């Protein structure tokens, strides 16, 4: 295998493995931008993974051979998104309306969400009596590139640009939209204001509660799609909780690495995707694989330290991150 | 738009009678159980008999009770460890990593000093666990006190680094059968003795409960932590060395977690797994918080959660319900009890009742 | 039918718990009029205006704008009724630019046109004579620039009724003049302005009418041209201000603190104290005057060891002991040597007290490290708490009742009482009477005088010049972190003090 082929393969693997993170992270960025630190991402991704699979599986079973791949993908997306929205709605209700502690609530959501994901996954297995599998035709809809074969066959460029599954492209579009929303629109500016200083936003007539709910629920839905992408692509439409476990926490780490800017998660998730699989692709003799896997966390911790030492105002976490807002509390 | 006041108005509530407070908390627990019943009904199980078999499975037989106590040890121990940090408003969510590193340090001695007499070996293992656990907690605290580095996120990262290190040791240098990725069981001199059928860790955590209570209530350190948690400016004004207090409290927290790690490898598991903490570091955060940082209340909550977890694991064999129902029920109970604090801290004024008051 | 007023309040009442902040208030402002809302600290001015701004809901009462009854439930409702308030603590997002802050919360969807916003900000600036860069980030701005952004924010929204909450407290004299010019320009433009203040000279300089509040009640509204500062003061405090503090002449003053060349910077590197030097004598009260933020806080904190000192020396000479250098000592060592600090911050509890603890826990703040062993001794502070409670007549259900829930005056009594109880040889107090009623203030003044008579060197940072003139023996004036003068309190006028406060260059006495 030539060096070029190797690099192409490495980049492709990095993108492939980074895609779930793309969703997990950008969803959490949206949430955190409004001032909510949702540590329930791990649970949300579990729920997204399980319900996404359940949706596609149920659809495939019901329709048999006439099942349509595109419809299956949409159903999986909708199911995962809805599951994530539901989970983060609970979190939002507790932290925003009932003003419960965000850290603790997020952790409780992780406990519940991983439980729900596991439970649904296992129930499916029990019902089927073995591995949950969907038909090959549907599988391909999740795995294949949406672009024509001709484009994919262009040397180097083809596999690098056109050769990914549909979620890569959807993710890129979603992140660009989110970047545009936060940076260029009125509502985006207001949302950031809510995360920086809710009392300022409130006195400017912005409905803090509504923005926080919006960001948390939509963000949670997006994060959950990440779990579905993992289940339907990386683990090959089979419920695999050990693989998914930890994915949500990497996403939380990546939010810091991206300095709370969605556009950074485009390359950040690819980089972390690379770090996650580098031990397979590029083994270094004296570094054990388990230590290799820890690199993303070490890098994130270093970024966190650097950011706090440099104190550049634009790189700081949203100033009100983790705090509840009560108008008369001033 | 005109002439109307909002439907609900909130004000902070200051003094709710203690009895009513506990009534609300108990009520939220019942509420969570009711939601649990709905879930059982949805998946086609008889709710009451499901709860019945949870109780039966956890408390029906002596072995069950023993397992409940065994599982409660790390939960209670870690919750106790976190209490001083939380009192200081320092968000140590790195219990998971600190437990793991404590377990790793203890295991090091269990592996390399197999021939020592049991008492000496166990003592060394405990001390090693305490030391490494506190070092692991100290690292983020140093950065917090020097540069204000966000401890919530930093301690979180430290968890995964610790678990990675443990995974490497278990699958590498300390691996048993080549390729198994599992460590052999400790020799018997590295195993904690049992008292009343459960490893003696339960005595240790009960003693710790009292110690932590006394530490927080009556000592100078406890006072410093309390003041610092309320206001850093006041702490500095009173001549307290703020960075030192942060580092010391975090290290203490890590030390207890490290001790818990030792008790898990040496007491319940008898060997090191990479997920030695098994989520106790995270669940303990909720235990600690729900107990309002009160050590004695932590005993009750830790026991309750481990009854649930042990009992629900028997559901799988008894009723064919996946064991992960435990996490769902635990999550619902935690979320429900977290939410109920709102009704303790705030008072709602509805428009109608406000009008009545005015009349 | 009466003339229609720009805004009118009828029978407004608001209480917080048992504390009535506003009692049955009737008040109105007309178009093109500047109203000064005058009152002492704690008289309910800000609460009343917060009701107009949609921050608080009144318990009772009605609000009319242009003669129509309205309900203001939120800041947004306030804007919809063309009411805008500039709060004392600015409501700005630090990491946003001026223009971004200005458009915050405005109606409209879709793309954010910051260019248009910037140009409109420039237009408003031209109209009223502001000087502001719309693309500058707020965290890079000076206080006065931030205030400008706040005012533009309100004008941008087309507010016709502007409320300014103590806008001059943080400004230099030149900036105040500029602000007044802007206010007059707005009045010409037909806007109604309510300015909250307790400074009489400003009331006389800028307002058309004055409404006076006292203890939550509306005492009366008068035309500025038909009144005098004396008459206003009488309305404000209810009787002529004759303080009659029993000031005695200092007996045998000896240098206690000798400060020279003291320079201190804040965390951003800004010089807060610049080559400050003076002597504080035992047996006298040294007053410290200056407009807010001139370095008073930094000076006291530097002496107490709470701030890093860049250069300079603080020589402390306790009664009958050898002089010692305080620079480089820890706060604890300084405290133990007999230097006490009673600082009452704006929120009362931020420094010096722990809100969640009772009196005992707070007494413990001074003695927690005393005694051997790891345990805290609670016996002595318990006794002390009971003592302070009795001597200073602190109103509290008990010594374990959280001080956060006590009223302002009682909180301050706890703080000052504790510091005095440590029998210090230097007692520094800052804003000790902040927000207190007259009677409680006198309790505090008497405590200061008693300490002085005991030979303590008392350093008293105050806001009220009348008090400084009658309480202190000498007054040190700070201006922009420099000492602009040290004067004899018995032979100086308020005007002379005011002059020193606003300009460096007065002559030093010694």
Q: Is the pLDDT of residue C180 over 60?
A: yes
pLDDT in tens, B218-246: 899 999 999 998 888 888 888 888 999 99
Using an 8 Å Cβ cutoff, are A305 and B143 in contact?
yes
Q: From C77, C80, C79, C8, select the one nearest C48 (Cα to Cα).
A: C8
Best of A185, A200, A260 to disrupt the C interface (most C CBs within 10 Å) is A200
Band of pLDDT at residue A42, cut at 50, 70 and 90: very high
| In chain B, % of residues over pLDDT 90 | 40
Could you tell me if residue C156 is inside a domain? Answer: yes
Helix A295-310 and helix B118-147: axis angle, to 10°?
40
List the single residue in C with minimal CA-CA distance to B220: C376
CB-CB under 8 Å, A203 with C94: no
Residues of chain A contacting B328 with CB distance shorter than 8 Å: 112, 115-116, 119
Comparing CB atoms, the residue among C352, C375, C376 nearest residue B237 is C352
| pLDDT at residue A131, rounded to an integer | 67
Strands C324-325 vs C285-289: parallel, antiparallel or unpaired: unpaired
Band of pLDDT at residue A32, cut at 50, 70 and 90: very high
Nearest-Cα distance to chain B for C365, in Å, is: 6
Strands C457-461 vs C474-479: parallel, antiparallel or unpaired: unpaired
| pLDDT at residue A243, rounded to an integer | 77
Structure tokens at A111: 């406990």
Q: Is the pLDDT of residue B193 over 90?
A: no
The rounded distance, in Å, linking the Cα atoms of C216 and C237 is 12
Nearest-Cα distance to chain C for B14, in Å, is: 9
| Prediction ipTM score | 0.86
Given CB atoms, is A205 within the 8 Å cutoff of chain C?
A: yes
Domain residue limits at C12: 7-237
Q: Is the pLDDT of residue C1 over 50?
A: no
CB-CB under 8 Å, C75 with A193: no
| pLDDT at residue B356, rounded to an integer | 41
* Mean pLDDT score, B335-342: 88
Strands B194-195 vs B198-199: parallel, antiparallel or unpaired: antiparallel
Higher pLDDT, A245 or B221: B221
| pLDDT at residue C435, rounded to an integer | 63
Neighbours of chain A (3+ CB pairs under 8 A): B, C
Could you tell me if residue B250 is inside a domain? Answer: yes
Distance of CA A36 to the CA centre of its chain: 16
CB-CB under 8 Å, A304 with B331: no
Could you tell me if residue B7 is inside a domain? Answer: no
Picking from B175-184, C214-223, C235-244, C279-288, which range would have the lowest pLDDT averaged per residue?
C235-244
Distance of CA C508 to the CA centre of its chain: 27
| pLDDT at residue B210, rounded to an integer | 96
Nearest-Cα distance to chain C for B66, in Å, is: 36
| pLDDT at residue B267, rounded to an integer | 86
Using an 8 Å Cβ cutoff, are B284 and B95 in contact?
yes
Task: Quickly count: other Cβ atoms within 10 Å of residue C55's Cβ.
Answer: 22
Comparing CB atoms, the residue among C71, C354, C405 nearest residue B2 is C71
* Mean pLDDT score, C237-245: 59
Band of pLDDT at residue B332, cut at 50, 70 and 90: very high
Structure tokens at C164: 């300014």
| pLDDT at residue A267, rounded to an integer | 92
Could you tell me if residue C223 is inside a domain? Answer: yes
Higher pLDDT, C230 or B108: B108
Radius of gyration of chain B (CA): 23
List the single residue in B with minimal CA-CA distance to A107: B282
Query: Which helix (H) or strand (E) is A85 found in, with range?
Result: helix A69-92
pLDDT in tens, C70-102: 998 887 888 889 999 988 778 899 899 999 999
Given CB atoms, is B153 within the 8 Å cutoff of chain A?
A: yes
Residues of chain B contacting C352 with CB distance shorter than 8 Å: 234, 237
Q: Whole-structure pTM over 0.90, yes or no?
A: no
* Mean pLDDT score, C172-193: 87
Band of pLDDT at residue A127, cut at 50, 70 and 90: confident
pLDDT in tens, B46-97: 888 888 888 888 888 888 888 899 889 999 999 999 999 999 999 999 999 9
Comparing CB atoms, the residue among A197, A205, A316 nearest residue C105 is A205
Could you tell me if residue C132 is inside a domain? Answer: yes
Structurally, how many domains does chain C consist of? 1
Nearest-Cα distance to chain C for B58, in Å, is: 41
Of B170-179, C215-224, C399-408, which has the strongest mean pLDDT? Answer: C215-224
pLDDT in tens, C210-220: 999 887 889 88
Q: Residues 77-116, chain B: which have Cβ within 8 Å of A?
A: 91, 93
Comparing CB atoms, the residue among C53, C111, C137 nearest residue A185 is C111
Picking from C164-168, C325-329, C338-342, which range would have the lowest pLDDT averaged per residue?
C338-342
* Mean pLDDT score, C300-322: 86
pLDDT in tens, C431-454: 877 766 666 778 788 888 888 888
* Mean pLDDT score, A106-135: 84
Q: Is the pLDDT of residue A41 over 90?
A: yes
The CATH number of residue C208's host domain is 3.40.50.300
Could you tell me if residue B206 is inside a domain? Answer: yes
Band of pLDDT at residue B174, cut at 50, 70 and 90: confident
Q: Is the pLDDT of residue C202 over 50?
A: yes
| pLDDT at residue A329, rounded to an integer | 52
Given CB atoms, is B6 within the 8 Å cutoff of chain A?
A: no
* Mean pLDDT score, B180-207: 84
Q: From B144, B158, B156, B141, select the one nearest B93 (Cα to Cα).
A: B156
Using an 8 Å Cβ cutoff, are C62 and C39 in contact?
no
* Mean pLDDT score, B323-343: 88
List the single residue in B with minimal CA-CA distance to C74: B6
Q: How many CB pairs under 8 A join A and C?
A: 77
pLDDT in tens, C41-78: 667 888 899 999 888 888 899 999 998 999 988 878 88
Distance of CA B72 to the CA centre of its chain: 9
Q: How many CB pairs under 8 A join B and C?
A: 80
Comparing CB atoms, the residue among B2, B219, B230 nearest residue C354 is B230
List the single residue in A with minimal CA-CA distance to B152: A103
Helix A41-63 and helix A247-257: axis angle, to 10°?
130
Q: Give residues with Cβ within 8 angstroms of A192, minimum separation 6.
A: A33, A34, A182, A318, C93, C96
Q: How many CA atoms lie within 13 A of A84 on its CB side?
A: 36
Picking from A9-18, A154-163, A181-190, which range would have the lowest pLDDT averaged per residue?
A154-163
CATH number of A3-315: 1.10.3470
Could you tell me if residue B329 is inside a domain? Answer: no
List the single residue in B with minimal CA-CA distance to A321: B150
Q: Using alpha carbons, list the distances in angstroms from residue A162 to A140, A165, A311.
A: 16, 9, 40
Using an 8 Å Cβ cutoff, are C416 and C443 in contact?
no
| pLDDT at residue A228, rounded to an integer | 94
List the single residue in B with minimal CA-CA distance to C404: B14
Could you tell me if residue B339 is inside a domain? Answer: no
Using an 8 Å Cβ cutoff, are A190 and A35 in contact?
no
| pLDDT at residue C349, rounded to an integer | 65
Buried b (16+ CB within 10 A) or exposed e, C15-24: eeeeebbbbe
Residue-averaged pLDDT of chain B: 87
| pLDDT at residue B351, rounded to an integer | 62
Higher pLDDT, C271 or B294: B294
Q: Is the pLDDT of residue C397 over 90?
A: no
Structurally, how many domains does chain B consist of? 1
| pLDDT at residue A221, rounded to an integer | 97
Could you tell me if residue C77 is inside a domain? Answer: yes
* Mean pLDDT score, B174-197: 82
CB-CB under 8 Å, B152 with A37: yes
List the single residue in C with minimal CA-CA distance to A327: C55
Q: Is the pLDDT of residue B18 over 90?
A: no
pLDDT in tens, C459-487: 998 877 778 888 899 999 988 788 888 99
């Amino acid at each position: 295998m030539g060096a070029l082929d190797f690099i192409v393969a490495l980049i492709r693997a990095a993108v492939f493995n980074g895609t779930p993170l793309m969703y997990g992270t950008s969803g959490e960025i949206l949430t955190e931008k409004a001032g909510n630190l949702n540590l329930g991402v791990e649970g949300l991704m579990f729920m997204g993974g399980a319900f996404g699979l359940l949706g596609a599986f149920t659809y495939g079973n019901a329709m048999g051979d006439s099942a349509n791949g595109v419809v299956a993908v949409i159903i999986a997306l909708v199911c995962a998104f809805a599951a994530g929205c539901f989970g983060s709605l609970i979190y939002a209700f507790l932290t925003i309306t009932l003003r419960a502690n965000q850290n603790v609530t997020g952790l409780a959501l992780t406990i519940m969400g991983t439980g729900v994901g596991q439970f649904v996954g296992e129930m499916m297995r029990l019902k089927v009596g073995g591995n949950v599998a969907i038909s090959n035709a549907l599988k391909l809809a999740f795995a294949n590139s949406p672009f024509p074969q001709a484009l994919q066959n262009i040397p180097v460029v083809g596999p690098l640009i056109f050769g990914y599954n549909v979620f890569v492209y959807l993710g890129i579009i979603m992140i660009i939209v989110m970047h545009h929303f936060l940076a260029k629109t009125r509502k985006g500016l207001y949302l950031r204001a809510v995360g920086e200083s809710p009392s300022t936003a409130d006195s400017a007539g912005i409905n803090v509660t509504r923005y926080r709910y919006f960001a948390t629920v939509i963000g949670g839905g997006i994060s959950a799609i990440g779990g579905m992408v993992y289940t339907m692509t990386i683990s090959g439409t089979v419920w695999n909780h050990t693989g998914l476990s930890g994915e949500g926490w990497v996403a939380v780490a990546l939010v810091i690495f991206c300095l709370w800017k969605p556009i950074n998660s485009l390359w950040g998730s690819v980089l972390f995707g690379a770090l996650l699989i580098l031990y397979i692709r590029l083994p270094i003799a004296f570094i054990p694989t388990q230590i290799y896997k820890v690199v993303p966390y070490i890098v994130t911790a270093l970024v966190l330290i650097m950011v706090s030492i440099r104190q550049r105002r634009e790189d700081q976490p949203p100033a009100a991150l983790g705090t509840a807002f009560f108008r008369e509390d001033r | 738009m005109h002439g109307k006041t909002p439907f609900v108005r909130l004000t902070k509530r200051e003094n709710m009678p203690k009895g009513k407070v506990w009534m609300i908390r108990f009520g939220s627990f019942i509420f969570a159980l009711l939601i649990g019943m709905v879930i059982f009904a949805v998946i086609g199980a008889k709710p009451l008999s499901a709860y019945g078999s949870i109780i039966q499975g956890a408390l029906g037989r002596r072995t069950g009770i023993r397992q409940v106590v065994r599982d409660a040890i790390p939960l209670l121990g870690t919750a106790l460890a976190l209490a001083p940090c939380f009192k200081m408003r320092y968000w140590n969510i790195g219990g998971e990593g600190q437990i793991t590193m404590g377990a790793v340090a203890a295991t090091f001695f269990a592996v390399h000093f197999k021939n020592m007499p049991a008492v000496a070996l166990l003592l060394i293992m405990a001390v090693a666990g305490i030391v490494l656990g506190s070092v692991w907690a100290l690292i983020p605290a140093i950065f917090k006190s020097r540069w204000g580095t966000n401890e919530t996120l930093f301690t979180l990262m430290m968890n995964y680094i610790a678990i990675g290190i443990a995974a490497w040791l278990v699958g590498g240098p300390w691996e048993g059968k080549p390729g198994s990725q599992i460590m052999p069981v400790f020799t018997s001199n590295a195993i904690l003795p049992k008292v009343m059928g459960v490893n003696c860790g339960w005595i240790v955590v009960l003693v710790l409960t009292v110690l932590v209570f006394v530490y927080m209530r009556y000592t100078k350190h406890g006072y410093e932590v309390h003041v610092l948690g309320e206001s850093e400016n006041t702490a500095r004004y009173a001549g307290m060395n703020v960075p030192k207090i942060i580092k010391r409290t975090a290290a203490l927290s890590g030390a207890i977690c490290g001790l818990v790690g030792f008790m898990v490898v040496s007491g319940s598991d008898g060997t090191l797994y990479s997920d030695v903490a098994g989520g106790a570091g995270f669940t303990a955060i909720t235990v600690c918080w729900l107990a309002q940082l009160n050590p004695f209340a932590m005993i009750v909550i830790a026991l309750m959660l481990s009854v649930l977890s042990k009992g629900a694991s028997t559901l799988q064999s008894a009723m064919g319900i996946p064991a992960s129902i435990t996490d769902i029920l635990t999550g619902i109970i935690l979320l429900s009890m977290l939410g109920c604090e709102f009704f303790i801290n705030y008072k709602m004024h509805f428009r109608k009742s406000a009008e009545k008051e005015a009349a | 039918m009466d003339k229609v007023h720009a805004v009118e309040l009828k029978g407004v009442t608001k209480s917080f718990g048992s504390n009535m902040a506003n009692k049955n208030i009737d008040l109105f402002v007309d178009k093109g009029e500047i109203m000064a809302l005058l009152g002492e600290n704690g008289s309910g001015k800000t609460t009343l205006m917060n009701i107009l701004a949609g921050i608080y809901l009144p318990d009772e009462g009605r609000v009319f704008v242009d003669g129509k009854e309205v309900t203001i439930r939120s800041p947004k409702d306030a804007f919809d009724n063309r009411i805008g308030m500039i709060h004392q603590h600015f409501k700005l997002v630090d990491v946003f630019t001026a223009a971004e802050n200005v458009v915050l919360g405005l109606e409209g969807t879709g793309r954010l046109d910051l260019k248009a916003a910037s140009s409109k900000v420039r237009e408003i600036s031209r109209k009223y004579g502001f000087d502001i860069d719309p693309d500058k980030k707020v965290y890079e701005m000076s206080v006065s620039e931030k205030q400008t952004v706040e005012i533009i924010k309100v004008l941008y929204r087309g507010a016709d009724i502007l409320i300014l909450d103590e806008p001059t407290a943080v400004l230099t004299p030149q900036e105040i003049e500029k602000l007044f010019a802007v206010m007059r320009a707005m009045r010409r433009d037909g806007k109604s302005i309510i300015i909250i203040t307790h400074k009489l000279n400003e009331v006389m300089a800028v307002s058309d009418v004055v409404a006076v509040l006292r203890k939550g009640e509306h005492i009366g509204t008068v035309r500025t041209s038909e009144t005098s500062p004396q008459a206003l003061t009488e309305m404000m405090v209810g009787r002529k201000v004759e303080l009659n503090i029993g000031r005695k002449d200092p007996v045998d003053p000896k240098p206690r603190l000798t400060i020279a060349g003291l320079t201190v910077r804040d965390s951003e590197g800004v010089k807060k104290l610049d080559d400050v030097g003076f002597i504080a004598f035992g047996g006298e009260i040294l007053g410290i005057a200056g407009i807010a933020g001139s370095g008073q806080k930094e000076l006291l904190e530097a002496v107490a060891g709470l701030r890093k000192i860049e250069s300079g020396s603080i020589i402390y000479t306790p009664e009958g002991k050898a002089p010692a250098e305080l620079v480089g000592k820890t706060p604890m060592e300084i405290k133990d040597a007999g230097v006490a600090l009673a600082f009452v911050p704006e929120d009362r509890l931020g420094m010096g007290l722990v809100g969640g603890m009772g009196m005992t826990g707070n007494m413990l703040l001074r003695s927690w490290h005393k005694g051997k062993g790891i345990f805290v001794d609670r016996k002595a502070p318990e006794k002390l708490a009971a003592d302070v409670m009795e001597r200073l007549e602190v109103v509290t259900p008990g010594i374990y009742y959280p001080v956060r829930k006590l009223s302002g005056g009682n909180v301050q009594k706890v703080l000052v009482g504790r510091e005095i109880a440590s029998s210090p040889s230097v007692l520094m107090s800052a804003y000790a009477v902040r927000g207190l009623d007259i009677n409680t203030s006198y309790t505090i003044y008497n405590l200061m005088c008693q300490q002085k008579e005991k030979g303590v060197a008392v350093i008293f940072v105050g806001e009220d010049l009348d008090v400084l003139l009658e309480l202190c023996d000498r007054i040190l004036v700070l201006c922009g972190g420099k000492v602009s003068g040290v004067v004899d309190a018995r032979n100086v006028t308020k005007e002379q003090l005011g002059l020193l406060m606003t300009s460096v260059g007065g002559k030093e006495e010694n």
